[in-house]
Chain A
Amino acid sequence: MEQAVFFFEILLPALMQGLVVTLQLIACSAPFGLALGIAVAVGRQYGNPVISWLCKTYVFLIKGTPLLLLLFILYFGLPSIGITFTAFVASVVGFILCNGAYNAEYIRGALISIKEGQMVAAQALGMTRWQAIRNVILPQALCRAIPGLSNEFIYLIKYSSLAYMITVIELSGAGKLVATKYFTYTESFAAVGIVYLVLVSITTIAVTILEKRVAVPGTARATPSAQL
């Protein structure tokens, strides 16, 4: 009985509040992370040498350093040069930068996989390089990048918990507060884990539906069973 009271009246409401913040973090980060990923991948693959180098360096820096470090710099470091973010904004900026870098790599891989003939045919019709990228190359590349991008989105769901390290009380943080206050570490963190599992499961199902929707009829991707 007491367990039930703890669970329904203390833990669950706290986690739901944290979940709202987690969802806000993801909703604010993911779209820009995707946009940044596309821009960086295209810039690296098709941009002039300077842009290409900038994109490559950005990805190198993000891939080579812990996200936590980036969050610390954004939140604790930048005020010393006059840039002050709220903890929430600092988290979102950090997640966008991180998400964008990894997305860029998935998208770049997909861009490379598009056969050269697609670009040649588009240019032969009078399209500029940019029109060809925009209308022919990218739509195909993004479809191919979906498995990688969804993977990265799932990572985002989980590493959003790092926002707690710079004082944002999101899902993990809310769980931590309850756990410490009531000395219920196992129950609280298990409950937090289940919520993440649910989020990731929903994402996985959504991605499966999305992949079916965008699959091009007649290709192996449209009928996975045919490959077996």
Chain B
Amino acid sequence: MNNNDIVLRVEDIHKSFGGNEVLRGVSFDVRRGETKVFIGPSGTGKSTLLRCINQLTPPDRGTVWLDGEEVTNSGARINYFRQKIGMVFQNFFLFDHLTAVKNVELALLKVRGMGKAEAREKALTELRQVGLEDWADHYPAELSGGQAQRVSIARALAMDPDVILFDEPTSALDPELTREVLEVMKKLARNGMTMLVVTHEMGFACSVANEVLFMENGVVAEQGSPDLLLHDPRFTRMKDFIGRIDSRMDD
């Protein structure tokens, strides 16, 4: 694997809502195939950061680069970049009126302009990836939370993104369903998908993340390999934080 090329560069992102400055200058580089995990107390701008990357929430200041092209200030071209930057949401946001397979193929048909047969085949392939081929014709309301989240991962994968943003993908799920979603994400990481993951799952972070970014008050407070942040005495803040939350080392 070519590990040295930077696929995503985030520089000095600032974002305020009203008078509340949620992000106060966040920068990092993401190499192809890398998994970065963002951890930190609620309200420290982790989800906002992800939304700033694909411009669902335009940042006040700072730039985002994908493969050397500027994503920020890209005008109508943002829709091109969003195809390349997949996103998975805490509450899945599956299209409620469409079956699983149609959820996955909709953007292939409408955004990529793919033919029907080709789109269907690709959608079924992606559903197979997440172990849900048999559920292709079920509607979101007929799926468990874990299944729904896997469908939404398949939907993101279908666009062949360069990177996928996971915004607390398991926070709405109970432990058992969390496990099935994390298994899928681990498989993606192993297969070389580039992923940015906002999560509270320390087990996942430790076993998959190349780097953990601990965020506090709108900045990256600590940054390093999971091992380093957990065991090196120079780093204390993330350990403090983990001590405070109910962490399940479920791996």
Contact = CB atoms under 8 A, between A and B. Distances in A.
B97 A139 contact: yes
B110 A140 contact: no
A120 to B, nearest CB: 6
Contacts of A217: 138-139, 141-142
Contact of A218 (B89, B93, B111, B142): B142
B95 interface: yes
B141 A125 contact: no
Interface residues of A, number: 21
B108 to A, nearest CB: 9
A126 B56 CA distance: 11
Nearest to B107: A125
Given A117-B89, A216-B139, A122 B56 contact: no
Nearest to B84: A126
B171 interface: no
Interface in B40-78: 54, 56, 76
Interface of A: 117-118, 120-128, 131, 135-136, 139-140, 143, 216-219
Identify the 7 closest CB pairs spanning chains A and B, nearest first. A218-B141, A218-B142, A121-B93, A126-B83, A117-B93, A125-B107, A126-B82
30 contacts: A118-B93, A120-B89, A121-B87, A121-B93, A121-B94, A121-B95, A121-B152, A122-B95, A123-B56, A124-B54, A124-B87, A125-B82, A125-B107, A125-B155, A126-B79, A126-B81, A126-B107, A126-B159, A127-B79, A127-B107, A127-B111, A128-B79, A131-B111, A140-B95, A217-B141, A218-B138, A218-B139, A218-B143, A219-B139, A219-B141
